[in-house]
Amino acid sequence: MSGFWSDKRVLLTGGGGFLGGFIRERLERKNPAAVFAPRAKELDLRDAAATRAYLAANKPNLIIHAAAVVGGIGANRKHPGRFFYENAIMGIQLIEESRLAGVDKFVQLGTICAYPKHAPIPFREEELWNGYPEETNAPYGVAKKALLVQLQSYRDEYGFNGIFLLPVNLYGPRDNFDLESSHVIPALIRKFVEAKERGEESVVLWGDGSPTREFLYVEDAADGIVAAAEKYNGIDPVNLGRGEEIAIRDLAEIIKAKTAYTGNIVWDTSQPNGQPRRKLDVSRAEREFGFRAPTDFNTGLAKTIDWYINSAR
């Protein structure tokens, strides 16, 4: 095992969340000097004074900022102001206070929503600034992208070692299955399972099913983030994904079959599709810190559905 972790006092924000929980498990296996994963009630990252006091008291030298206010298309449409402000202010203040506290390394998780709406496929990190994000996700995506600018400018002026990762859409056990705020895979799983249980003849889904998405199994994402924390110190942002895409229409049919739902799918074309396509170029992550996502989509999806049916309810 690498000696990198032996003296690390790691602050993980968002450690109680979907992705954060898996990151924390992997950090603890590394046996660092300390792991801090405060909940929001213990540390309000919107409060600069509280953040400053927490850093002074616990003295982390590595920070992984995974905390975020997130959701699917519906949540983004309902709370664009909140999604912009809270994601921006949490990151801006934490980065600044970390610099002032002398933190050695800062790992910032960005979002695939930061890419331009019509970025060429596959999304390469160099395309990040070549257009405006898809409108329903733009406030969230722009807030996160501002943190990339902050880290790069802080590296230039202060020598602050901050890295920026761009995970694609995540899925897996322990995801958020609340239909008001969930992303597409947990929402589809829940809709089909409940429709089957209630004997409903059809399930209504948003859009026309034509957009494509790329998905990364949450445990693979956690592995990639921890690997980057240890091995990557570059100024350039890095995609985390599998480099594969699937149409939402095909995804819905797969989940319908895996949940044994026999009714019909009705597409509500009055609702938005979101970004037309998402597929990443993942070569930089492999080149820079050896990350390749091992979990194939069918395996990950089966594990997610099994967890929801047997553990989530």
Q: Map out the domains of the chain as residue ranges.
A: 3-172+214-244+277-295
Q: Are 163 and 151 in contact (CB under 8 A)?
A: yes
CB atoms within 10 A of CB 153: 12
Q: How far apart are CA 25 and CA 28, in angstroms?
A: 5
pTM for this model (two decimals): 0.95
What percentage of the chain exceeds 70 in pLDDT?
99
pLDDT at res. 132: 96
Report residues of the chain scoring pLDDT below 50: none
Q: Which residues are catalytic?
A: 140
Mean per-residue pLDDT of the chain:
96
The greatest distance separating any two alpha carbons of the chain, rounded to the nearest whole angstrom, comes to 62
DSSP per-residue codes, 165-199 = EEE-EEE-TT----TTT--HHHHHHHHHHHHHHHT
CB atoms within 10 A of CB 63: 26
The two tokens of residue 248 are: 């939402």
pLDDT at res. 72: 76
DSSP per-residue codes, 121-138 = SSB-GGGTTSSPBPGGGH
The two tokens of residue 301 are: 């999806």
Beta-carbon contacts of 133 under 8 Å, excluding residues fewer than 6 positions away, are 113, 114, 115, 116, 117, 141, 142, 275
pLDDT at res. 2: 66
pLDDT at res. 73: 77
* CATH 3.40.50.720 for the 3-172+214-244+277-295 domain, yes or no: yes
DSSP per-residue codes, 299-310 = HHHHHHHHHHHH
